[in-house]
Amino acid sequence: MVPSKTNAVDMFAMQLVFLLSTSIIFGTPSVVPDSWLVGIIAFFPACLFIVIYGAMLSSQKNLGLYPLLEKAWGKVVGRGFVLIYATYFLYIAARNIRDMIELIMSALLRMSPVPVLTTLFVLIIAYATLGGIQAIARFASLVLCIVLAMLFMLAVLLMFSSSIILEQMLPFLSKGIGPVVQSAFQHSIWFPYGEIIVFLVFQQELGGAKGFRRVTLYAFLSACFILSITDLIQVWTLGIEGKKYSSFALLDAARLINIANIITRMDAVIALIIIFGTLLKCSVFLFACAEGLTHIFKGQQGKYNFPLALLAGAFSILVTRNSAEHMIEGLKYVIYTLHIPLQLVVPLLTLLLLRIRYRKGEST
């Protein structure tokens, strides 16, 4: 039975929410004064991912990531890579859960026990994956509408609160363009754009190579625009130095809203909306991990969802000791040890092997 395809609108919504969710929480890494420019510059080299991943899909009649790895590397080595990618997706899901817990503890439930919050969150994620990727995509359309409406409302309320001061973005390029370009290549290409590799796992259900290229390009463009605007809002309200030393800059910006002492403290509302986006992103990663185990061990669909969710929750607590260590690990070690090899190096080698081994459509 041929799986039904997800329509392009739902696929676009899912990818856009996926790109925005945790990126909106932390914004562009504020290692340079003009952080809002980093995302714009990162967009152009990030389009290389669309080219590489699209070529991988089209080389073997739109097979997903796991069958492609087996075809390129052979059964034994290919299954080893499937396990590596499944573990990688589970680890990134655990990091996103940790991001979410840090946000909740900061803005909403300061005194709640972390294990209880984590358990509740991962159980919701596991339940969300039971409907499959198409159910997640339909949920994404609703989440995207809510997220965009709340971001628009945030900008309007900050404007009426007289909290937006355009001069705070000056001086422009005080240290030149070099640090901005360097930050784009060191951080923003790999997070969030490179994480789009997870969608190769179930691309047969999402429209194949042609649909992937078109929809992902639109999602990248939209994410670049929205993230740059939110970075500008943070700079206009908090200033360059204020944004640099803020853990959750968008929430700190929302705290500045005060209209006649009636509409205040919108940070909790913004946090709740962001939770939905992170829930969807974690569901995608968890579902991709479960698909990897199902591909190798031939288990029943959905068999691994709840155990993997609990494992991701445990990893999220144990992965780092505090939020500062969590941030440093994500911006430094994870990029060089996981993101670059698994988002760029292995896909390039896989594409090369596929072209060599299956030249003119026949195994050589």
Chain segment 238-259, per-residue pLDDT in tens: 887 777 777 777 888 888 888 8
**Structural domain contains residue 363:** no
- Lowest-confidence region among 159-163, 192-196, 228-232, 319-323: 319-323
Return d(Cα 356, Cα 364) in angstroms, integer.
8
Checking DSSP bridges between strand 263-264 and strand 258-259, what pairing results, if any? Answer: antiparallel
Residue type, 159: M
Cα 297 to its chain centre, rounded Å, is 27
Question: What's the pLDDT at 62?
Answer: 73
Write a three-state SS string for 278-314: HHHHHHHHHHHHHHHHHHHHCCCCCCCHHHHHHHHHH
Checking if the pLDDT of 182 tops 90, the result is no
Q: Is the CB of residue 272 less than 8 Å from the CB of residue 19?
A: no
Q: Supply the pLDDT for residue 307.
A: 92
Q: Which of 8-12, 50-54, 149-153 has the highest mean pLDDT?
A: 50-54
Q: What angle do CA 40, 282, 208 make, to 5 degrees?
A: 70
Q: How many CA atoms lie within 13 A of 354 on its CB side?
A: 24
One-letter identity of residue 132: G
Note the pLDDT of residue 83.
96
pLDDT of residue 105: 79
- For the record, the structure tokens of 104 come out as 């909740």
Q: Which two three-digit tokens encode residue 334?
A: 């994870």
Q: Is residue 83 part of a domain?
A: yes
- Does residue 124 sit within a domain? yes
The answer to the question of residue 2 being in a domain is no
pLDDT band at 363, cuts 50/70/90? low
Task: Indicate whether 268 belongs to any domain.
Answer: yes
pLDDT at 197 (0 to 100): 96
Instruction: Answer whether residue 77 is part of any domain.
Output: yes
Number of domains the chain contains: 1
Q: What's the mean pLDDT in 153-168?
A: 85
What is the model's pLDDT at position 1? 36
CA distance 66 to 152: 39
Checking if the pLDDT of 227 tops 70, the result is yes
pTM: 0.91
pLDDT at 88: 96
Q: Give residue 116's domain range.
A: 8-356
Residue 217 is part of a domain; what is its CATH number?
1.20.1740.10
Answer yes or no: are the C-beta atoms of 82 and 292 closer than 8 Å. yes
3-state secondary structure 171-190: CCCCCCCHHHHHHHHHHHCC
User: Do the domain assignments include residue 218?
Assistant: yes
